[in-house]
Amino acid sequence: MNLAGTVVPMATPTRRSRRAVDDTALRKFTRGLVEAGVHGLFPGSSIGEFPSLTAAQNRQVIETVAEVADGRTNVLAGCCDTSVGAVLDKISSAEEAGADAAVVVSPYYLTTTQPGLERFFTTIADQSALPLLLYNIPPLTGNEIGIDLVGDLAEHDNIVGLKDTSGDLNYHYRAVSETPDDFLVFQGATQLATASLGVGTDGLIAGPANVFPRVMTDLYEAYDRGDLVEAQRLMQTVVTPFVGATSDVPTAAALKYLVKLDGLDIGSPLPPLPQLTDEEQTALTAAYRRITDQFDKQTL
């Protein structure tokens, strides 16, 4: 799969009254991201509140995103669950919905070992209708996909990449340097964006791109063409303050609020995430205004 650049781990628009997916808002949201030039879309992500969606809702989101994208950008479908069977069911649905690849997180709740993780991912990859990207986020799953295991799994024909949200730059560097050149490595910890590009990452799966898709795309493209001054400027004026402003509240809740500030109401976070307090909303609004005051609206 030919993929590099900025991928959006999409928030999921929902209706407040019935905890249902807001299809109209999702279509508008997707169109805006595609028109902003992002290099990929990732519905069913952590920011998309995948654990709070039913299997039918997860399929609905992926199907709608793929339909609106219509081949203009890659769709990486979140197919995350704790059992092999549930993951394979989601992958089958995602393939039928038109996704290009599946993102599979390490299993959570049950503690396992590296051989256990190898068994999990290999069993899925052997039967998957889509190419897989591994998803390493040990702070939330409790099960890190170790570097040696990443290297072993990268040899599987149907495992094509890794989303690394460990926040460990040394781990990320090793993932890049100790896997084949055609194995994709994406940075999911946006505060490490330019540092990761400096060690050879293929791209960014960047939460801030929900709100500032053009900025995050421009950051990657500036670095890619060698304009390190511009990349660092965007890092300092958008990414760092954005990450700082959202670090003390649930990310999905913060991003839904910020997308609304940007002009599209995509609903409230689903249970068990909390509603933002008035104080949290005030702080996020102030951070958003500080960032946007530095830019012409058309560049955001």
**Which residue type, as a one-letter code, is found at position 182?**
D
Report the DSSP pairing between strands 203-205 and 159-164: unpaired
**Would you state the pLDDT for residue 17?**
67
CA distance 249 to 138: 19
Low-confidence ranges of the chain (pLDDT < 70): 1, 17-18, 296-300
Find the catalytic residue in 28, 108, 135, 297: 135
Determine what percent of the chain falls in helix, strand and coil, rounding each to the nearest 5: 50, 15, 35
Find the catalytic residue in 90, 108, 109, 163: 163
Q: Is residue 163 annotated as a catalytic residue, yes or no?
A: yes
The third-level CATH classification (topology) of the domain covering 5-227 is TIM Barrel (3.20.20)
Do 3 and 74 touch, CB atoms closer than 8 A?
yes
**Would you state the pLDDT for residue 2?**
78
**Would you state the pLDDT for residue 299?**
66
**Would you state the pLDDT for residue 69?**
97
**Would you state the pLDDT for residue 124?**
98
**Would you state the pLDDT for residue 297?**
59
Q: Rounded to two decimals, what is the model's pTM? A: 0.95
* DSSP-derived secondary structure for 91-155: HHHHHHHT-SEEEEEPP-SS---HHHHHHHHHHHHHH-SS-EEEEE-HHHHS----HHHHHHHTT
